[in-house]
Amino acid sequence: MSIETKNVDKVVIRFAGDSGDGMQLTGTRFTETTAIVGNDLSTLPDYPAEIRAPAGSLAGVSAFQLQFSSKEIHTPGDQPDVLVAMNPAALKVHLADLISGGIIITNESAFSPKNLKLAGYESNPLEDDTLESYEVYSIEMSRLVATACEDMDISPKTVDRTKNMFALGLLYWIYNRPLEPTINWLGIKFKKRPELIDSNIRALNAGYNYGETVEIFTTRFAVEKAPLAAGKYRNINGNYATSVGLLAASVKANIPLFYGGYPITPASDILHTLASFRHFGVKTFQAEDEIAGITSAIGASFAGSIGVTASSGPGIALKAEAIGLAVIAELPLVIINVQRGGPSTGLPTKTEQADLFQALFGRNGEAPVPVIAAQTPGDCFYTAFEACQIAIKYRTPVFMLSDGYLANGSEPWSIPSFDDLPNIQPDFSANENGVPFMPYARDEKTLARPWAIPGTPGLEHRIGGLEKEDMTGNVSYDPENHHHMTELRAQKVANITQDIPPTDILGAASGDLLILSWGGTYGSCRSAIERLQNEGKKVSLVHLRWVNPLPKDLGEILIRFKNILIPELNMGQLSKVVRAEYLVDAQGLNLVRGRPFRAADIVTKAQELIG
């Protein structure tokens, strides 16, 4: 039978199965191979919150979605074209998202009466008319890998764990991906267990050969290389990019990096990654709780290091008092919030943008803190670097906002030249030959106070949470001094607008609609405006990097558009800030489903606004 090879511009695949089915690994290997092929790509890992959910249950379904393309893309895709469902629960959870007429590939071996019952199916969807509108390939993967490994002296349970490699091999065949990168990776991962190398390679080959020899597939697909700008690329996720950005800032400032924190999903990988950078002089401290984590970082900043802490919303709540201490002490500090669904424990493995108000206002007293937000996984590098720059230059704690989607999602990242990154000048104070040291004297341009290393002769000064007298730093309860210092701290944050470049507008400078976005909604918003502009709509996009302070030219931009739409994964937090600050009738598109926006949701709302 002849098999047609069809060229397509883009494909969205979702791998889904039980927590133990290796879907994250499968998706990651397909992603790495696709990056080697040269496609543009974007990924969305989707973890279950339950650590030990019963096997085969709906709560235990783990998924990994990626979009890859021969053109530039900005999101993991709105809906999958292909769903790989390793058990009935995976099919039940994800079927509704599949495009009409999409491809379903299942592990038929897992569709047992027990698993069907756990998933809530009264009959087998592979045998009734549930899937009649889809292109279904039901394959006994477990049986086929058992046959491929039948002469090996390993347990049936170990063999069955290779079925994800069978699915991966089949997808490699369908989409013309090479096997060698995965074979090489298996050799490294299991170098001390040669039997696992052999069994996984056999399963991988079995899946590839199944596509080649079983005459049920009539079409293979080819996705050509994307025209990426010249440079050296690697696939990177947001948490790793954040860690490397912090390290780069430390090297460019020529001062040590100290991380103090406490493990929490989805921020823990920052601690794990930075701990592996100890050969660069990075010091990491896993504290007994969130409070100890941030206060140790404040102490490191006091001693002349870049102090960093990271958490998610619940942990940031515990750090609030200490953030106020860093504000009044006016010390450099970077606080990273990898946002997740809330409130309370909420949705620990899902994404959200609902901690903006927490970053802006979540402290007692007047305690302004600059807030910068990353827009893509790769951009987390530059955002972390810039957060360190501003923290050091203005002697202030800085919030960096990421989220679960950016932290775990990945994209091709053009590795920057280290020499092209700007140097950071810490400008530590020095003893000026008997001139009395004034720890709260101010730089005229930034209003930053001096940064004095403890133990330097002549630079002794007070530090702590009590209000300080202007200039001397002595404890002061004077009401006029307190008002003055409050104004100074607020003005210092406002002065950061000096470092914010003119705002980029994607599209015309005026029109029927401006989409105003921040954080991880960038990809969906950009995809949406490209669709709308292709339809001839007068729509533009402004994506905010700094949320506090806001760019000084933002107000002038807003008044040039008839409508303003602010998509957020919260109930309208930036919308309230913009409406209050600029007195414009900004409309919100607010969804809190634990998932990134679909570009189609934004397109629909935009069309509704402009008619």
For the segment 232-245, what is each residue's pLDDT rounded down to a tens digit?
999 999 999 999 99
The percent of the chain in helix, strand and coil, each rounded to the nearest 5, is 40, 20, 40
Answer for the pair 469, 480: CB distance below 8 angstroms, yes or no: no
Query: Which range (38-52, 165-179, 396-410, 546-560) has the least confidence?
Result: 38-52
Tokens of 370: 């600059």
- Contact between 385 and 376 under an 8 Å Cβ cutoff? The reply is no
Which residues make up the CATH 3.40.920.10 domain(s) of the chain? 4-222
Phi, psi of 94, rounded to the nearest 5 degrees = -110, -5
DSSP 8-state class, residue 495: G
pLDDT digit string, tens, across residues 102-117: 999 999 999 999 999 9
- 438 CB neighbour count, 10 Å cutoff: 15
Distances (CA, A) of 493 to 171, 328, 390, 446, 585: 51, 13, 10, 9, 26
User: How are beta strands 397-403 and 371-373 bridged, if at all?
Assistant: parallel
Q: How many residues does the chain have?
A: 611
The pLDDT of 69-91, averaged and rounded, is 97
Q: What is the mean pLDDT of residues 144-171?
A: 96
Q: What would the pLDDT profile of 175-202 be if each residue is shown by its tens digit?
A: 999 999 999 999 999 999 999 999 999 9
Residues with Cβ within 8 Å of 415's Cβ and at least 6 positions away in sequence, in order, are 231, 232, 233, 234
Given a cut of 80, is residue 51 above it in pLDDT? no
H-helix segments, 330-377: 356-361
Is 80 exceeded by the pLDDT of residue 34? yes
% of the chain surpassing 90 pLDDT:
95
Tell me the average pLDDT across 410-429. Answer: 96
Q: What is the SS3 assignment for 35? A: helix
The tens digit of pLDDT for each residue in 283-302 reads 999 999 999 999 999 999 99
380-414 tens-digit pLDDT? 999 999 999 999 999 999 999 999 999 999 999 99
What's domain 4-222's superfamily in CATH?
Pyruvate-ferredoxin oxidoreductase, PFOR, domain III (3.40.920.10)
3-state class of 54 per DSSP?
A: coil
**Residue of 599, 482, 412, 518 lying closest to 32 (CA atoms):** 412
CATH number for 511-610 (one of 3.40.50.920, 3.40.50.720, 3.40.50.1820, 3.40.50.150): it is 3.40.50.920
Q: How confident is the model at residue 49 (pLDDT cuts 50, 70, 90)?
A: confident
- Is residue 167 within 8 Å of residue 84, measured between CB atoms? yes
Q: What integer pLDDT is reported at residue 545 of this predicted model?
A: 98
Q: For residue 477, what are its two tokens?
A: 């309860």
Cα dihedral 315, 406, 232, 179 sign: positive
Strand 333-339 versus strand 103-107 pairing type: unpaired
Give the closest residue to 287 by CA, choosing from 279, 295, 299, 277.
Answer: 295
Q: Which structure tokens are listed for 299? A: 């102490």
Instruction: Report d(CA 332, CA 475) in Å as an integer.
Output: 21
- Non-local (6+) Cβ contacts of 133 within 8 A are 100, 101
Q: Are residues 41 and 66 in contact, defined by beta-carbon separation less than 8 angstroms?
A: yes
Residue showing tokens 């970053």 = 359
Question: How far is it, in rounded angstroms, from Cα 57 to Cα 583?
Answer: 49
Q: What is the 3-state secondary structure (H, E, C) of 201-252?
A: HHHHHHHHHHHHHCCCCCEEEECCCCCCCCCCEEEEEHHHHHHHHHHHHHHH
**Number of neighbouring beta carbons within 10 Å of residue 96:** 7
pLDDT tens across 538-552, in order? 999 999 999 999 999
Residue 433's pLDDT is 78
pLDDT at 1: 61
Q: Is 474 helix (H, G, I), strand (E, B) or coil?
A: coil
Report residue 543 as tokens.
């994506």
Q: Which residues contact 226 (CB under 8 A, 6 or more apart)?
A: 38, 39, 40, 69, 70, 71, 72
Longest dimension (CA), the chain: 91
- DSSP lists the bridge partners of residue 219 as 4
- pLDDT beyond 90 at 434: no
Q: Cα angle vertex 441, ends 435, 444, to 5°?
A: 115
Query: Which residue shows structure tokens 């660069």?
Result: 280
Instruction: Give the per-residue pLDDT at 50.
Output: 83
pLDDT reading at 462 higher than 90: no
From-to residues of CATH 3.40.50.970 in the chain: 234-420
- List CB contacts of 284: < 8 A, sequence separation 6 or more: 258, 259, 260, 261, 271, 274, 275, 278
Find the distance separating the first CA and the last CA of the chain, reported in whole Å: 51
In the chain, which segments carry CATH 3.40.50.920?
A: 511-610
Tokens 């009649």 correspond to: 132
Task: Give yes or no for residue 449 having a pLDDT over 70.
Answer: yes
Residue with tokens 């330097």: 456
Q: Are 578 and 586 in contact (CB under 8 A)?
A: yes
Q: What is the mean pLDDT of residues 445-449?
A: 97
d(CA 261, CA 114): 43
Q: What is the mean pLDDT of residues 2-30?
A: 94
Q: For the whole model, what pTM was predicted?
A: 0.95
Helix (H, G, I), strand (E, B) or coil at 356: helix
* Distance from the Cα of residue 52 to its chain's centroid: 25
Q: Tell me the mean pLDDT in the region 465-482.
A: 97
* SS3 labels along 432-465: CCCCCCCCECCCCCCCCCCECCCCCCCCCCCCCC
What's the CATH number for 234-420? 3.40.50.970
Q: Which residue carries 């883009």 as its tokens?
A: 10
d(CA 126, CA 124): 5
136: which strand partners? 104
Distance of CA 265 to the CA centre of its chain: 12
Query: Do the beta carbons of residue 62 and residue 17 sit within 8 Å?
Result: yes
Rounded to 10°, the helix 313-329/290-302 angle is 30
Q: Give me the helices (H) in 119-193, please.
A: 141-148, 156-160, 163-174, 180-189
Q: How many CB atoms lie within 10 A of CB 227?
A: 10
